[in-house]
Amino acid sequence: MSEELSLGDPMRPRKKKLSRGSIRRRKSTNIFVAFFIDLVVVIGAALVLSLLIKSFLIRSFFIPSGSMLETLQIDDRIIVNQLTPALYPIERGDVVVFKDPGGWLGPDVSEPTDPLVVSVDWFLSAFGITAPDSKQHLVKRVIGIAGDKVICCDADGKLTINGVPITEPYISAGQPPSAIEFEIEVPPGSLWVMGDNRGNSEDSRYHGDLPSKGFVSTDWVVGRAMVISWPFENWAWLDNYPDVFKNIPKP
């Protein structure tokens, strides 16, 4: 005959009572674990969102040269709107970032780097935190769009676009619009670009002997530079000076 233990039977195993200190420690551990999980989820979501934004909307670049002085300083970081020209047309005066159309940067602009640094840089660049490929891109100001006839220079030493002279306030102080005379007509789907530092910018003027004839296909454009994001003291929206080009007739 089996015997059942009664509730009051001293042989029945009893649950061990936790002390108040143990309860507090367990609660603290649970709170820490929950906080850690929330933190991982938030960071992961932010990185995924950053990746999507960088892939489709905006991304950052740094300025490797002085061709856009005084508008852009060397090592400035800029935010680029990648919806231009995919959804929004490029306009005269826009500062654009574009890939090398071929031969503008020379045969090789890469720099040997430690493999670990390259790997970390590649990972961070996927989220727009770094911009390791900035030196494989160029930053210039759009002067002529498809169909425009751009001539340098008139009797007053000004550029003319479709017969209308323009005064360019963005050019570095004391520099002429161009020390090189030229007369071009921008072909369809292309741009004529020039640096604001006209005396030290190897832009469209210097690449007429290449297959592109110095023009930049809109297919090579990554986007329009919108703002200087770093260093903080240089923070500024990048103007495309609509008043400079407002009287230019259509080609």
One of 60, 134, 140, 201 is an active-site residue; which one? 140
One of 2, 15, 28, 67 is an active-site residue; which one? 67
Token pair 């996927």: residue: 126
User: Alpha-carbon distance 75 to 62, whole Å?
Assistant: 5
DSSP notation for the chain: ---PPPTT-TTS--PPPPPHHHHHHHHHHHHHHHHHHHHHHHHHHHHHHHHHHHHHTEEEEE--SSTTTTTS-TT-EEEEETTTTTTS---TT-EEEEE--SSSS-S-------HHHHHHHHHHHTTTS--TTGGGEEEEEEEE-TT-EEEE--TTS--EETTEE---TTSPTT--S-SS-EEEEPPTTEEEEE-SSGGG---GGG-TTSTTTT-EEGGGEEEEEEEEEESGGG-EE----HHHHTTPPP-
Does the annotation mark 250 as catalytic? no
Does the annotation mark 119 as catalytic? no
Residues carrying an active site annotation = 67, 140
